[in-house]
Structure 1
Amino acid sequence: MRTVLDFTPLYRSSVGFDRMLDLLDNASRVASVDNWPPYDIAKIGDADYRITMAVAGFAQDELTVTQEGNNLLVGGAKTGDDSGEYLHRGIAGRTFQRRFELADHVKVVDANLTNGLLTIDLKREIPEEMKPRQIEIGQASSPAQVSQIDQGQKAA
């Protein structure tokens, strides 16, 4: 059973959250969940994150990590020739593409493959112009000066 959420009332009382509400709506529409390859997402600092994917059997040149805007795409495709006869095949080597939706200002810092684990380090870097800043409060002019300016504008 799927629950349908209606975010319409939130659009009336919020400004600038439309992207987040669209993401929630899209996430609820996911038809099937593919859980391969398995992965972990960890927060390792105030603005640092790490995605670790188990990609056993894939070589470094068979994996791709691409950031397109706010999307992180991780793909893998086996290039080797597989001509052996298997009695049992339990190690998955199928092609995959995993998509992660990144928040604004999150960038890929590094990606490493060690012992079958692909580690992708991410960092949120808020631009200087978006960080909080102190606004200096000036002294207001006297009411007499304000009224003179208002009268001058009315006369023109």
Structure 2
Amino acid sequence: MRTFDLSPLYRSTVGFDRLFSMLDGFEAAPGYPPYNIERTGENAYRITVAVAGFGENELSIESKENTLTIKGAKQTQTAQNGEVLYQGIAARAFERAFQLADYVTVKNAALENGLLHVDLVREIPEAKKPRQIPISNAQPQVVETKVAA
């Protein structure tokens, strides 16, 4: 039996959770920067990206069509108090892209304690929502026509 690894698709999509609720038991592959995708309500989601060391002016968020792109580029800085002996804090540029389901839009983005929170919401237009059709018990009308002789 062949198995397919859908983890790249799962970790870069938001709003397709009905499809992914059928799939269980696989971990997303690690990457830089680490992130979480959470469901905060019936139609609300939050992407949290760990961007320690990046300031607001070094991050950009772009939503185009059904793709959300988060980019970070560290501005070059020289050490002010001598030379750096060990650099364990990552300062490399990154770009993360997330595929969004139809009608998922970005509502808010906030940088707090080294975490970038991007809030998303799915707003289905009224014309696309299912609606109830009332059933009437009216009898069909018979139309009589007379043929002229």
Match among 70, 75, 93 for residue 79 of structure 1: 75
- Report 1:1-156 matches (<5 A): 35-83=31-79, 85-138=83-136, 139=138, 141-142=140-141, 144-145=142-143, 148=145
SS in 2 for 1:104: coil
Structure that is richer in strand per residue: 2
Aligned residues: 121
Letter in 2 for 1:44: T
Q: Deviations over 1:101-149 (max 9, x none)?
A: 111111100000011100000111111111121223453532x32x75x
Q: Deviations over 1:2-56 (max 9, x none)?
A: 9569xxxxxxxxxxxxxx8xxxxxxxxxxxx661000011111111111111100
Identity, in percent, stands at: 47
Q: Which has the higher contact order (CA 8 A, sep 6+)?
A: 2
Letter in 1 for 2:140: S
Which ranges of structure 1 fall in alignment gaps of 5 or more residues?
Answer: 6-19, 21-32, 152-156
CA distance in 2, matches of 1:68, 1:82: 35
Distance 1:130 1:118, change over 3 A: same
Superposed CA RMSD: 2.6
TM-score by length of 2: 0.71
SS in 1 for 2:41: coil
Distance 1:109 1:81, change over 3 A: same
Structure that is richer in helix per residue: 1
Which ranges of structure 2 fall in alignment gaps of 5 or more residues?
Answer: 6-15, 17-28
CA distance in 1, matches of 2:30, 2:94: 10
Distance 1:133 1:53, change over 3 A: same
CA distance in 1, matches of 2:44, 2:130: 20
